[in-house]
Amino acid sequence: MQDLPTSASSPEEMCRGMKIVYGEDYKPQLAAKYVQDFANTSDAGPFDGLLGFSEGACVAANILLDQERTSLERPFKCAVFFNGIPPARAGNAGLYLADECGQVIKTPTLHVFGARDPGKFASLALGNLCTSDNSSVYDHGQGHEIPRAPAITKRIATLVREMVAGIESNPTNSVNEGACKR
């Protein structure tokens, strides 16, 4: 974590230094392709949502971003991101950031992060990519972890139920034609 940026004017500016941390071997698009292929071909589905922690949230965000751009069947109706990272551009060309792309993920999302996580700016930047009317943010007050305290897990479960209820009452997810190009 010592390579993470330490100050900037916005979460997006903080994220710009992250590609230095992850280096050339970081390929979330490949992982996203595996998950999408599985979801589209598996008899285990259908799958309603995605859940991702840290880099797994980056993979899930890449999947949602791809869903927003295509007219293909959308197997995922929502996502829960724990201590998430914004979706990565192809070829390790940085991250998709709201100050460059706007709010490009319209799929309902829940962003759970901890105020004591040194990389919390990435969670905030991922949240900024999602439309505010379809996303919720919850700070569990801890670090870079999935919280296990009963009161916190109950609150997260309530937020997930509220997100699912919102989907059930409005089952259409709009597609953003203006999504950033790869």
Nearest 5°: phi and psi at 111? -110, 115
Q: Is 9 a catalytic residue?
A: no
* CB 80, CB 153: distance < 8 Å: no
| 122, 11 Cβ separation under 8 angstroms | yes
| Residue 38 CA to its chain's centroid (Å) | 19
Catalytic choice (66, 117, 135, 140): 117
Contacts of 80 (CB under 8 A, 6+ apart): 49, 50, 51, 52, 109, 110, 112, 156, 160, 163
Q: Which of 54, 123, 135, 136 is catalytic?
A: 54
54 catalytically annotated = yes
Fill in the amino acid letter for 56: G
The catalytic residue among 10, 99, 139, 144 is 144
CA–CA distance, 159 with 55 (Å, rounded to integer): 22
**What whole-number distance in Å separates Cα of residue 108 and Cα of residue 106?**
6
Please confirm, yes or no, whether 144 is among the known catalytic residues.
yes
CA distance 169 to 35: 27
Active-site residue set = 54, 117, 144
